[in-house]
Copies of this chain bind each other. A is one copy, B any other.
Amino acid sequence: MQADKGISSMNQKKKKQLEARARIIKALAHPTRLFIVDELSGGEQCVCELTKMIGDDISTVSKHLSVLKQAGIVEDEKRGLQVWYSLRVPCILNFFGCIESVLEANAKQAREAVGR
């Protein structure tokens, strides 16, 4: 028994829960995908438009969108030739407030480390 690695003494349920959370957070953990989420906070966008803004190959953008969709962060709808993406769970945005305060704390500490 206990062939698994990590967090091994924990009950299986809590372990699954942590893995599920990590999958979603991982989906957000890329600059391009953060850009997309930020952009979609202003309303839906089609892949072509996002691709123009991002500047990567469209296949790369499409794969980023697929990661976000897979995680349940965005949803898509095909209309004619285009596919439109939108945020599925907008609270994702609050999220950034805290990230920002980590960054501020880091910056503050960096200033203090230099002497001011």
Chain A residues close to B by CB (< 8 Å):
5-10, 15, 18-22, 24-26, 28-35, 38, 52-56, 60, 71-73, 88-89, 91-92, 94-103, 105-106, 109
Contacts and interface: CB of A to CB of B under 8 A. Distances in A.
- Copies of this chain, tallied across the complex: 2
Given A25-B28, A91-B101, A72 B7 contact: no
Looking at chain A's contact residues, is the secondary structure mostly helix, strand, loop, or mixed?
helix
11 contacts: A6-B31, A7-B35, A19-B31, A21-B34, A22-B28, A22-B30, A22-B33, A26-B26, A72-B105, A72-B109, A91-B98
Given A7-B54, A72-B106, A99 B25 contact: yes
